[in-house]
Amino acid sequence: MTIRCGRCGTWYAGATTDPGRLDGLAAADWGRYADLLAGVFLLAARRRFVAGQDRAPVIRFVAGVRERYDRSGRDVDPLIAEDLVWAALGDRPPVPVSAAAVTAQTVLLLGLLEDEGMPATERDDLLDAAARTVRRPPALTGREPAAE
């Protein structure tokens, strides 16, 4: 599955579940994908949660996402997942980029988008906004965005 904005037609490199295609991505494509993931996650988390709120809703959300998507119970570290949400809200420092953080961020994003049940046009708006966000230094990665 490749992510494409229905309104502007932009294709987001690396957003695919085809393992053969993932193997062929250049380093810049991986950087762009990580930046886009961080941007979409940042916006989606801020739609669901607010800075300074009680911890319980975040803990319940992370637990629910792990229950739905992490069948082994070992793929998504709950502490990293919670830290990602709090970092998106500005309540904690950015989470360092790691395989565990990217896995957690991806799974949390699935949960955020599924729970919201937004129509395709609204998802396109979110992707457009995320693409604009990654042109600036992303809040969650602590590094400069990949060159376009």
Q: What is the pLDDT of residues 23-66, one digit of tens each?
A: 555 666 777 777 888 888 999 999 999 999 999 999 999 999 99
Report the 10 Å Cβ neighbour count for 132. Answer: 11
Q: What is the pLDDT of residues 81-96, one digit of tens each?
A: 999 999 999 999 999 8
Q: Facing residues of 3 across strands?
A: 12
* Domain edges within the chain: 52-148
pLDDT for the residue 104: 94
Q: Considering only CA atoms, which of 117, 94, 107, 125 is closest in space to residue 37? A: 107
Largest distance between two CA atoms of the chain: 43
pLDDT for the residue 135: 61
CA–CA separation, 28 and 17 (whole Å): 18
Tokens of 5: 């904005």
pLDDT for the residue 35: 81
Sign of CA dihedral 94, 95, 97, 102: negative
CA–CA–CA angle 52, 85, 11 (5° rounding): 130
At 124, which amino acid appears? D
